[in-house]
Homo-oligomer: A and B are copies of this chain.
Amino acid sequence: MWETALETEPMRAVLERAGSYEQRIMRLFGIPESEIARSLREIEADGVPIETLEITTCLRRGEIEIATVFEPPYADVYDAFRDAIRARHADTLYSEDGSTIDDQVIAALAGHTVAVAESCTGGLMSARLTERGGSSDYFLGGAVVYSNEAKTALAGVPADLIAAHGAVSPEVAATLADGARERFGARIGIGITGIAGPDGGTDEKPVGTVCVSVAGPDGERWDRSVLLPGDRATIRERTTTVVMHGLRRRLREAEAVRRA
């Protein structure tokens, strides 16, 4: 009886329509959700009939995901919507094809090698870079340098640099990145130091203070100091996301230089 129902003409029409919905996903990093909400309102006010699209925005692991479902006749509206998002958020929109930051970084790492020296993330950065099979093609190794002595012994951070700037500082992050490159013989080095909490924060460097650095082979680097919200687990995970985006940026710049 069910199969017969599926074969009736109205049911078929519904199924055909249902089957032909399109879905597109855009991803942005480093932008508050409220800003996307405002953009949606303004894009609609500018005359793009986005009411013909079904748009949902979702904050996920520190990133914004915009998922849009629409019927094929409205593909032009979607393109106009995407172009408007692109124009407004060029600096934070990193994916128009649904690919995740992990997809993009792993694809971009082909032909490169990477190594990590991390403190507050406690191994999660290396774990993220080795999550997928075949990661030994690009990942050489990592040092989890929790104690100051380990930072010096395993990543070559001079003790007086730590004394001068503190273990959580841009200087130490940069030196960790360089140390990771050298110790593992990798093309790219990642350095991470921060305060994941709940203890260890100060007025000057509260819990959530994180300094990261991505160093390439010719002395070029990408550095960032951020103050991340959330509990210990969130701060640790968000830190790896910040680094993944830094890594993507560094790899793209290197690719642009290579092609130029």
* A contact residues, total (Cβ < 8 Å): 39
* Total copies of the chain: 2
Partner-B contacts on A (CB < 8 A): 116, 121-127, 129-136, 139-147, 149-150, 153-154, 183-185, 196-199, 232-233, 236
Which B residues are CB-close (under 8 A) to A122?
123, 126-127, 129-131, 135, 139
Cα distance, A116 to B147, chains bound together (Å): 13
9 pairs of A and B residues whose beta carbons are closest in the complex: A122-B130, A123-B126, A123-B123, A141-B150, A142-B144, A123-B127, A126-B144, A133-B198, A124-B127
Which B residues are CB-close (under 8 A) to A150?
140-141, 184
Residue pairs across A and B with Cβ atoms less than 8 A apart, 9 shown, are: A122-B126, A122-B129, A123-B142, A124-B127, A133-B196, A133-B198, A134-B199, A136-B146, A140-B147
Residue in B closest to A116 when the chains form the complex, CB atoms? B144
Which B residues are CB-close (under 8 A) to A133?
196-199, 232
Cα distance, A154 to B146, chains bound together (Å): 15
Which B residues are CB-close (under 8 A) to A127?
121-124, 127, 236
Closest CB in chain B relative to A150 CB, distance in Å: 4
Q: A122-B126, A122-B129 are in contact. Are A144 and B146 (CB under 8 A)?
A: no
Cα distance, A144 to B118, chains bound together (Å): 11
- Please tell me if the beta carbons of B232 and A147 are within 8 angstroms of each other in the complex: no
- Please tell me if the beta carbons of A142 and B141 are within 8 angstroms of each other in the complex: no
Cα distance, A184 to B152, chains bound together (Å): 11
Closest CB in chain B relative to A105 CB, distance in Å: 15
Which B residues are CB-close (under 8 A) to A154?
141, 143, 154, 183-184
